[in-house]
Amino acid sequence: MREFIYEVPPADDGMLLQDYLKCRQGYSRRLIIDLKKSGISVNGEHRRMVDPVRGGDIIRIVLGELDETNLIPNPDLRADILYEDEDVVAFDKPADMSVHPCALYYNDTLGNLFAARYPGLTFRPLYRLDRDTTGICVSAKNTFAASVLMGHLEKTYYAVAEGLLADDEGTVDAPLIRVPGSIITRKVDPAGQRAVTHYKVFFRSNGHTLLALKLETGRTHQIRVHLSYLGHPLAGDTLYGGHDDLIGRQALHCGELFLPALPGRTEMVIRSPLPEDMQKLL
């Protein structure tokens, strides 16, 4: 259960309740629709979403966990927690762990770990990482946090690419499309969706390059395909031309995340150190 209290400032006198929640507090349209059923009062009384609010009004919202979850709790799974509060939890996801269950991995995912640690809460990951990509993975603990934060998290990925990139920084703007006949594999193709990746070189050593990358778009396998497109696939990424003689997975890590402010907490940056297997490549 999570409670939020807002006092309407004089400048917002006359706004519709639904507009105040959406424009001033960041509530999504879906969450506002859900709140129509229950969980909201103004000055202790029921108020319709189309009613105006007045300066000084006290809005009280109570969010309950009404969603059903069918995730199998697995208390034997392990992932360090980098940060946690009433609204979110940031896991340091290890390699060889999917975020969501699927046909092949139904009880050994981050979702199964979440279900064991937080019984009764719905697993709401705010983005996904590939099974063998390590690092920060954030899940909301309630509908409000999911509504406000989804799409507003700024992530920095760290990658070790094969070879020595010539430029110290650059941008790859190359559209991606699914490879015909494959469920997951992507390739650069003019007919695909636009995909933009910004990169900066941190270090060159031992025939490898350590990069920091930020995404303008979030396409499937975007970093992996774009680096392969540059002729420098990720170490260990055999799907896109890398070699697994030095590391047994793609050398990709979500290492830094900007988390916007929520009620009771200021904005912050969460960091996860580069995993040992990626350090050894350098």
pLDDT in tens, 57-75: 999 888 765 455 678 899 9
State how beta strands 196-205 and 268-271 pair: unpaired
Q: Is the pLDDT of residue 131 over 70?
A: yes
**Structural domains present in the chain:** 2-63 (3.10.290.10), 66-150 (3.30.2350.10), 155-254 (3.30.2350.10)
Q: Which of 184, 263, 191, 214 is nearest to 21 (CA)?
A: 263
**Cβ neighbours of residue 23 under 8 Å, at least 6 residues apart?**
15
Write out the H or E segment, with its range, that includes residue 202.
Answer: strand 196-205
Amino acid in position 233: P
pLDDT at 69: 60
Question: CA–CA separation, 38 vs 34, rounded Å?
Answer: 7
Report if pTM > 0.85: no
pLDDT at 32: 83
Write out the H or E segment, with its range, that includes residue 88.
Answer: strand 88-93
pLDDT at 66: 47
Q: Is the pLDDT of residue 200 over 90?
A: yes
Question: CA–CA separation, 242 vs 212, rounded Å?
Answer: 18
**How many alpha carbons fall within 13 Å on the CB side of residue 34?**
16
Length of the chain measured in residues:
282
pLDDT digits 0-9 by tens, 245-275: 999 999 999 999 999 998 889 999 999 999 9
Q: Are 148 and 120 in contact (CB under 8 A)?
A: no
Catalytic residues: 130
User: Helix H segments across the chain?
Assistant: 17-19, 25, 29-37, 110-117, 143-149, 222-229, 276-281
144 vs 82, residue with greater confidence: 82
